[in-house]
Amino acid sequence: MSVNDITGVIVNVALQIHKDLGPGLLESVYEVVLAKKLEQQQLKVERQKVLQFEYEGIVFDEGFRMDLLVEDQVIVELKSVEQLASVHKKQLLTYVKLARKPAGLLLNFGAALLKDGICRIINAPEASLR
């Protein structure tokens, strides 16, 4: 399955969840529901996966936790806030680069319309979108 296909499934499932549950719940609620619904779509989902990374020869075991890692390719960062801040996009871009993943999705379930709270990040132009 290509990265484009994976992100398409994630967005479609997230839109349905937002339609059904609405905005305003805790981020953790959307995380568990989204993970379960993606697994029902036969996607491999890891929740709160810790990323180990190396910087200047030093290995850091607790770099950060990804809300969701889907098919070992797409990092999904969930928010449930009134409005996304620019730091949220920068954070996801850093996660995608450090994890060396081809793509990331930022989903803000706090938005009145989820379509206004979706941001897709591609690691690099040369990243393979198999």
DSSP assigned state of 101:
-
Beta-sheet pairing, 45-55 with 58-70: antiparallel
pLDDT averaged over consecutive 10-residue blocks of the chain (130 residues)? 96 97 95 98 96 87 89 97 92 90 96 94 61
DSSP assigned state of 43:
-
With 0-12 / 13-18 / 19 or more C-beta atoms within 10 angstroms meaning exposed / middle / buried, residue 101 is buried
pTM: 0.90
The partner residues of 53 in beta bridges, in order of sequence, read 60
